[in-house]
Amino acid sequence: MIVSNPFIPVPPPTYGGLERVVFDLAVGLHELGLDVAVACPSESKLPRGVEHINIGPSKYSVQQNWIEAEKEAYEHYRPRLGDFGIIHDHSWYGWPYIAKMENPSLSILHTHHGHLNWKTPPPFRYPNLVGISQYMAATYNTQLGVATRCVYNGVALEDYPFNESQGTRLICLGRMAKFKQPHVALDVAKRAGIPIDVVGGDRFVDDFEYVKRVKEMCEDNRARYVGEVTHEVKLEYLRNSRALLVCSRMGEPFGLVAVEALSCGRPVICLNDGALGEIVAPSAGFVCQTPDEMVTILKSGQDRLIKPEDCRRRAEQFSKQKMSQEYEKLYKDILRGDEW
Measured between alpha carbons, how far is 310 from 333 in angstroms, rounded to an integer? Answer: 34
Nearest to 175 by CA among 222, 220, 207, 132: 207
Domain assignment present for residue 211? The answer is: yes
Dump pLDDT digits (tens) for 63-82. Answer: 899 999 999 999 999 999 99
Q: Do 184 and 71 have their domain in common? A: no
In this predicted structure, the answer to whether residue 220 has a pLDDT above a threshold of 90 is no
In this predicted structure, the answer to whether residue 119 has a pLDDT above a threshold of 90 is no
Q: What is the number of structural domains in the chain?
A: 2
In this predicted structure, the answer to whether residue 44 has a pLDDT above a threshold of 90 is yes
Q: Do 188 and 53 have their domain in common? A: no
DSSP-assigned states of every residue in 191-244: HHT--EEEES--SS-S-HHHHHHHHHH--STTEEEEES--HHHHHHHHHTSS-E
Domain assignment present for residue 314? The answer is: yes
Domain assignment present for residue 238? The answer is: yes
- Tell me the pTM: 0.95
pLDDT of 232 = 94
Residues 5-25: what's their mean pLDDT?
Answer: 96
* Average pLDDT of the residues of the chain: 96
Q: Do 242 and 264 have their domain in common? A: yes
CATH number of the domain that 271 lies in?
3.40.50.2000
Q: 61-65, 92-96, 255-259: lowest mean pLDDT where? A: 61-65
Q: Do 137 and 223 have their domain in common? A: no
Domain assignment present for residue 73? The answer is: yes
Residues 168-179: what's their mean pLDDT?
Answer: 96
Q: How confident is the model at residue 240 (pLDDT cuts 50, 70, 90)?
A: very high
Nearest to 264 by CA among 234, 286, 305, 299: 234
Percent of the chain at pLDDT exceeding 90? 95
Measured between alpha carbons, how far is 291 from 289 in angstroms, rounded to an integer? Answer: 7
Q: Do 191 and 253 have their domain in common? A: yes
- Looking at the DSSP bridge assignments, the partners of residue 54 are 40
DSSP-assigned states of every residue in 140-201: HHHHH-S-EEE----B-GGGS----S--SSEEEES---GGG-HHHHHHHHHHHT--EEEES-
Degrees (nearest 5) of the Cα angle 289, 278, 160?
110
pLDDT of 30 = 98
In this predicted structure, the answer to whether residue 235 has a pLDDT above a threshold of 90 is yes
pLDDT of 219 = 81
- The parent domain of residue 54 ranges over 2-155+319-335
In this predicted structure, the answer to whether residue 246 has a pLDDT above a threshold of 90 is yes
Q: Do 217 and 295 have their domain in common? A: yes
Domain assignment present for residue 136? The answer is: yes
In this predicted structure, the answer to whether residue 206 has a pLDDT above a threshold of 90 is no
Residues 24-47: what's their mean pLDDT?
Answer: 98
Q: Do 20 and 70 have their domain in common? A: yes
In this predicted structure, the answer to whether residue 135 has a pLDDT above a threshold of 90 is yes
pLDDT of 142 = 96
Based on C-alpha coordinates, what's the Rg of the chain?
A: 20
Q: Do 147 and 169 have their domain in common? A: no
pLDDT of 203 = 86
- 93 against 117, higher pLDDT: 93
Domain assignment present for residue 86? The answer is: yes
Domain assignment present for residue 340? The answer is: no
Residue 7 CA, distance from chain mean position: 15
Measured between alpha carbons, how far is 238 from 197 in angstroms, rounded to an integer? Answer: 10
Residues 319-334: what's their mean pLDDT?
Answer: 98
Q: Do 64 and 165 have their domain in common? A: no
Q: Do 172 and 285 have their domain in common? A: yes
Q: Do 8 and 61 have their domain in common? A: yes
Q: Do 143 and 250 have their domain in common? A: no
Residues 10-15: what's their mean pLDDT?
Answer: 94
Domain assignment present for residue 183? The answer is: yes
